[in-house]
Structure 1
């Protein structure tokens, strides 16, 4: 009867074992899947909408989410008690007892999994899960910043392209007229050489803007997880007329929150907690680890029930060296946290100062340089109509005004990029739609099984 029960228990245990299911990886399929992805061209894509799509496609986000799921599974496994060991022996000796020649025994080796060692193992696994969550948030934020920068570059490239083409046309017309005058002996050659250099600069500007536009498409595609062709034809939502400016009081508050609540700061705090946990583990390791070993022995007709205790002794120095190393590691983690907080504060201050400078430059260009250049262009046109000037002078004045407008738009682009740098330093978007998507992403990760 006992044999039948044991056999049934063994069969039940084997039936509950997991079976291996292969999951081959096909690297060649990655490019095909990426090439098949497309974005509808009939809508105006905001940063929030592009980020929503990136949550499903961006490789960095998918990798970070997979890392979180892996560590969450490892944390669950850390709670499973340590495995026991079973030792079975058998011996046949006809000479000792011809009637009962068999000797058999079985011994269980059961670790006592409780106390400091188990708590340290479980806590370390749980802390790793929290770190993985912060890493996921950083991956989502980095993707958002990449999308934001790429859309800014592309929007401004589209604004600058027709303006650069107009400057090129004016520089070309002026160059052609001056060349004709030089050939007719009406102007000195150095004047045409200067016009030729201005024309070359205008041509180079056209190429630079086209390259910037192409690079923005590549950056946007890489951030989302698609090929550049998928984003080349989509329409992007326009930016606000002016760069949002944080009031000094709000900036000071957000600066303090960033120094204590940025995800990389929180991750460094977890590093310190892990170092603290390591100290606890090494202190617990200065005491013996206990394993109990109950057994059963059938010795040629006699039944014995032996019981043993296995003590895993600490090192000869009672683990003092390992404890000292763990404490030094903990001190290092504290110094690293302090350094990171100082870096965050410096990044916020530097980004805020850069934003103020770029906004001031944009306003100065828009209120002084651009109006002055346009006034000179209008005067040149009026002089031409009044017979006091010629077309060459008007082309030069109009080109200068267009270049001043170009500089004004470029200053606005730099101001927007400076805002993204400040958002990066604060880890806080100024657009509430982006903040909602970031919150949704973190909630969705928390619901991952």
Structure 2
């Protein structure tokens, strides 16, 4: 045998091992560039509008359209970082399937030996090598793949659940923006009426019809009305920031956007929502329920894997050696002896983990039942509250009409008429509070049912769109 043979064999093996290896490519995170890109996000982005157009091809999606809850939901799916994180986690879990399916690599042992005290003129090398071929037993690879597949499925389902959480926060933020704008309108009306009352009382004070105490009370009421108007303006500014955050854009990205609050301007017919049917459906189809079920199935596969690990893997070790012109072939195998343990510890851990996953699943079921029951329980009370507030507004309208008639007949003064108008504004403001509370109840029902109650979008379309990989 030539002396270069062992070196040649070693180089050949190394070349075989290194062929096809992946190479690391560094990707730097540049905070300044990332912050700049985030600051450029806007509802007027052409990429966003194209995404909305592709998601709702039956409707025109130009920039002049108003932004209702459905269109803002699509914007949040496109932009929100929580969904980007959920998608990345799903990709990582999916890569785990490839890892689980990998078969163990064989390995080679090369042991060239130099003999220095040969008594003959033979070549002073003994060339020996062997190959180790691992052989998995008891279906371990299948159990690993099953576990990884279940975890990947759970991660995909959590994308849809994240989308629902994003939509819930978005709906609450949009409702707050609506309430803030309406509050500004009522606060401005109240301020205007209070200023008119104050002006009239100043005139009466000047001619001696009233005393300083009455005008002092009017000044206090006017100051309070100004404070309320300022607070309402502050609420509008804060609601815009909250809305932008719920979408996943800076507040400047809302510039020139026109919002559609028509869904909030009417009282939803919550009594017509088939909560019982939707509750049963939610307990079977909510994405977080399905994800928890997939986690449980993954724990079952993990337990099966640990039970299979009781049975040792085999390792075939065929070998070859060349010594003094003789070719020697060997057959060998390695089998671990389970003398000290039969994998009882990992089996016990996997069994305990399965029990934990079952308990988590049942706890989630109970939480969903409680959340739906809690949201449903308030519906009837809200309907009664809405009727009471509506009756109050109608009663106040009749009082205002009666006071107007008395004023025109000269039976009362302008201050009394303005005071009645002020009471009318306060009654409408109270009705607004009830309307907002009712919309919050609707939001709570949607959140717990994971079902859009008054929307063009469906649970399926939201899940499918959320799983896409938009390019902001």
- Give yes or no for TM over 0.5: yes
> 1:182 offset after TM fit, Å?
6.6
> 1:260 offset after TM fit, Å?
2.4
Name the residue aligned to 2:315: 291
Say if 2:167 is the partner of 1:144: yes
Name the residue aligned to 2:103: 81
Name the residue aligned to 2:260: 237
Q: Which runs of 5+ in 1 are unaligned?
A: none
> 1:343 offset after TM fit, Å?
1.0
Say if 2:54 is the partner of 1:50: no
> 1:235 offset after TM fit, Å?
0.8
Name the residue aligned to 1:281: 305
Say if 2:329 is the partner of 1:305: yes
3-state SS of paired residue (1:433): coil
Name the residue aligned to 1:70: 92
Q: Distance in 1 between matches of 2:352 and 2:419?
A: 69
Residues 48, 437 of structure 1: 8 Å contact kept: no
3-state SS of paired residue (1:304): strand
Name the residue aligned to 1:333: 357
* More displaced stretch, 21-30 vs 383-392: 383-392
Name the residue aligned to 1:119: 142
> 1:396 offset after TM fit, Å?
1.9
- Structure 1's 212 and 296: CA in aligned 2 closer, same or farther, altered over 3 A? farther
3-state SS of paired residue (2:317): strand
Q: Which runs of 5+ in 2 are unaligned?
A: 45-62
- Structure 1's 331 and 422: CA in aligned 2 closer, same or farther, altered over 3 A? same
Say if 2:294 is the partner of 1:270: yes
Residues 175, 439 of structure 2: 8 Å contact kept: yes
Q: Distance in 2 between matches of 1:158 and 1:26?
A: 39
Aligned with residue 37 of structure 1, among 9, 17, 41 = 41
* More displaced stretch, 9-18 vs 221-230: 9-18
- Structure 1's 51 and 15: CA in aligned 2 closer, same or farther, altered over 3 A? same
- Structure 1's 217 and 8: CA in aligned 2 closer, same or farther, altered over 3 A? same
Q: Distance in 1 between matches of 2:143 and 2:22?
A: 28
Structure-to-structure mapping, 1:20-419, within 5 angstroms? 20-40=24-44, 42-96=64-118, 99-175=122-198, 177-178=200-201, 187=210, 191-192=214-215, 194-240=217-263, 242-245=266-269, 250-314=274-338, 316-366=340-390, 368-419=391-442
- Structure 1's 318 and 161: CA in aligned 2 closer, same or farther, altered over 3 A? same
Residues 51, 437 of structure 1: 8 Å contact kept: no
* More displaced stretch, 431-440 vs 26-35: 431-440
- Structure 1's 396 and 387: CA in aligned 2 closer, same or farther, altered over 3 A? same
Q: Distance in 1 between matches of 2:147 and 2:183?
A: 53
* More displaced stretch, 245-254 vs 49-58: 245-254
Between the two proteins, the alignment pairs up a number of residues equal to 444
Q: Distance in 2 between matches of 1:414 and 1:96?
A: 99
> 1:375 offset after TM fit, Å?
2.3
Residues 147, 223 of structure 1: 8 Å contact kept: yes
3-state SS of paired residue (1:353): helix
